[in-house]
Amino acid sequence: MASSSQQQQQQPTAILSVYDKTNILDLAKGLHSAGVRLLGSGGTAKKIRDAGLPIGDVSDITKAPEMLGGRVKTLHPAVHGGILAQTDLEKDRADLAEQKIDPIDIVVCNLYPFEDTIAREPAPSIAEAVEEVDIGGVTLLRAAAKNHKRVWILTDPADYAPFLKTFTSSSGNAEATQAQRNLYALKAFTHTAQYDDAISNYFRKQYAGPSNEVVQHLPLRYGANPHQKPAQAFVTEGAMPVKALSGSPGYINLLDALNAYALVRELAAATGLAAAASFKHVSPAGAAIGVPLKPASAQAFFVADLGELSPLASAYARARGADRMSSFGDFIGLSHEVDEQTAKIISREVSDGVVAPAYSAAALEILSKKKGGKYCVLQIDPAYVPASRERREVYGITLEQGRNNAVIDPKTYFEKIVSKTQLPTDAAAAEQARLDLTVATLALKYTQSNSVCYALDGGVIGLGAGQQSRIHCTRLAGGKADNWWLRHHPRVLGLSFKKGVKRAEKSNAIDLFVEGVFDSLSPEELAASEERKDWEALFESIPEPLSAEERKAHAAQLSGVACASDAFFPFPDNVYRAARSGTSYLAAPGGSVMDEACIEAANKLGIVVCRTELRLFHH
């Protein structure tokens, strides 16, 4: 017959220490009925004891009282030795016997939400928050979860009933039982990870905010909308690579800034030239490299008065000039140190902010005065390299993927020509074609899909973003390219605005003119149109509409355009539409059953088709 000591050793032991006491009495009753010895601490033991169930205190096995105001209760070899022991190992069994420690088979524990602690009103002091950091509970959870091959760890009250069913069953499947323990261990690790995340998030704000020596936390004005507060950006390793030199970014500002800088950094690396991007709502309205402007473009982009531009100023003038309507209120990305001339161009435009690796003293002085000192000027560490994996949370679910680290090298990326027409034999013309294809392709890499981009002379001239069908991307981008080209028409460049008309008003008026918004109205409709009256009031002399013949003749002069797509063209209609906007070069991956039909259409039009073999969706 077994001795009393042997029976005691064979009796399963459970430790119960929970914040959320939902169903804890049902669990305790089930465990007691199954012959499990119950041990508890604090309020958990009291609740079970008050219900008339036998439960001992953790001090019964530690032989030590709670100390340091309750901060040390379960931190003891008798507890953690009993949990962590691998009882199938003779050495562990010998250690337990030598120290007179019984194995612990079940741990029931969950933690007080730290978010609730710091959300109290009035807000707790740092010292008060520190006192709420749980040590013993987290240690119980991690110890039991680590040894889940033997130990049951329960954190979720919803698991109590299925656990009891398995634990009390005499015909359980060992494999299924272990799978259940595995799942509960995962829940425990997740519980402690979330708890630690809440704590580190709190102390990151306290100890690594903008006023600290090491910054990991950047407060944002608000989220995607003003009612979405609080909002922040943070890193968990190293220092925050972005700092505000002036103003304060919002959530969308920072999304635009980070995507814009990633784009211009790649453009500069690929081409060896300064690069700029104008971002709105996480897609580029324009992007360009520092190729000198032709006189007509300088006039169309409102920079003719500045004379010869620096490479960076040229790049931003092109990027902003790609689609001035969409760039209104943009966030700017610049690849190089911002010079005074570039800052002057920015200071004249309606913009939300700028990000760059550095600023000259003169440039920073100009930008810091914009918007009464509230203009957002961000500096980013050019040595920063993001992690190879990226995560985002959507509707409470975390998605993870490898970062899109595909390199677009203009020397090799466009070498697979599948059309009859080849790249120009003239070296300079071929180099320009590759540069324009590179600008268009890299712009797509940071544009909401589906997307198609047209580029010319080192800059985007039309970008169709976020459309569900490819042809609508091609049409949208083509329409913007046509608008861009019409803004270079001599009659548009010669429009006579009244003194004092603002740049944004000029852009709107030019857009109405080149789009022919009023051209189809009858004399009666024109006379009744308040919009037309407001438009006419901007001019010294009211311009005559561009005729169909003028439009056609000017459109015929547009050529050499590069058009890229972030995925295959599914039908030849895309090729024909691109050709109407002066396209001479197409770049897109294959994969459509209509690939050959698209190539055949390009052959008929004399368009070069570069097969890239790389899809570039971005969301």
Which tens digits make up the pLDDT trace of 266-279?
999 999 999 999 99
On whether the CB atoms of residues 107 and 144 are closer than 8 A, the answer is yes
Catalytic positions, written as ranges = 146, 281
Nearest-5° angle of CA 175, CA 178, CA 183? Answer: 125
Name residue 490's amino acid.
Answer: P
Cα–Cα distance measured from residue 434 to residue 415, given in angstroms and rounded to the nearest whole number: 9
Claim to verify: residue 286 and residue 300 sit in the same structural domain: yes
Cα–Cα distance measured from residue 265 to residue 241, given in angstroms and rounded to the nearest whole number: 14
Cα–Cα distance measured from residue 191 to residue 412, given in angstroms and rounded to the nearest whole number: 49
Tell me: the pLDDT tens digits for 119-140? Answer: 888 988 999 898 888 888 999 9
Cα–Cα distance measured from residue 63 to residue 58, given in angstroms and rounded to the nearest whole number: 8
On whether the CB atoms of residues 249 and 243 are closer than 8 A, the answer is no
What pLDDT score was predicted for residue 8? 44
Task: State the chain's mean pLDDT as an integer.
Answer: 94
Claim to verify: residue 113 and residue 170 sit in the same structural domain: yes
DSSP character at residue 359: B
What pLDDT score was predicted for residue 69? 67
Q: Is the pLDDT of residue 1 over 50?
A: no
Claim to verify: residue 190 and residue 321 sit in the same structural domain: no
Residue 395 maps to a domain: no
Instruction: State percent of the chain over pLDDT 90.
Output: 86
Reading the block at residue 338, the tokens are 């911002």
Claim to verify: residue 69 and residue 124 sit in the same structural domain: yes
Tell me: the pLDDT tens digits for 309-360? Answer: 999 999 999 999 999 999 999 999 999 999 999 999 999 999 999 999 999 9
148: domain range?
4-206
Q: Where are the beta strands (DSSP E) in 371-416?
A: 376-380, 389-394, 397-402
Tell me: the pLDDT tens digits for 464-511? Answer: 999 999 999 999 999 999 999 999 999 999 999 999 999 999 999 999
Instruction: Write down how long the chain is.
Output: 619
Residue 78 maps to a domain: yes
What pLDDT score was predicted for residue 209? 85
Claim to verify: residue 273 and residue 187 sit in the same structural domain: no
Q: Is the pLDDT of residue 5 over 60?
A: no
Rounded to two decimals, what is the model's pTM?
0.88
Residue 225 maps to a domain: no
Residue 215 maps to a domain: no
**Domain termination site, one of 505, 523, 545:** 545
Confidence tier at 6 by pLDDT (50, 70, 90) = very low
Claim to verify: residue 520 and residue 568 sit in the same structural domain: no
Which residues, other chains included, contact 534 with Cβ-Cβ below 8 Å and sequence gap of 6+? none
What pLDDT score was predicted for residue 42? 83
CATH number, domain at 576? 3.40.140.20
Residue 591 phi, psi (nearest 5): 125, -10
Q: What is the mean pLDDT of residues 108-128?
A: 90
Q: Is the pLDDT of residue 528 over 50?
A: yes
When divided into structural domains, the chain yields a total of: 4
**Domain termination site, one of 347, 381, 415:** 381
Residue 557 maps to a domain: yes
Claim to verify: residue 463 and residue 562 sit in the same structural domain: yes
Q: Is the pLDDT of residue 171 over 80?
A: no
DSSP character at residue 497: B
DSSP character at residue 106: E
What pLDDT score was predicted for residue 70? 65
Claim to verify: residue 175 and residue 283 sit in the same structural domain: no
Residue 8 maps to a domain: yes
Name residue 275's amino acid.
Answer: A
On whether the CB atoms of residues 245 and 337 are closer than 8 A, the answer is no
Residue 286 maps to a domain: yes
Cα–Cα distance measured from residue 511 to residue 480, given in angstroms and rounded to the nearest whole number: 10
Least confident of 115-129, 301-315, 364-378, 535-549: 115-129
Cα–Cα distance measured from residue 428 to residue 610, given in angstroms and rounded to the nearest whole number: 18
User: What secondary structure does DSSP assign to 50-89, as a single string?
Assistant: HTT---EETHHHH----BGGGTBSS-SHHHHHHHH--TTS
What pLDDT score was predicted for residue 344? 97
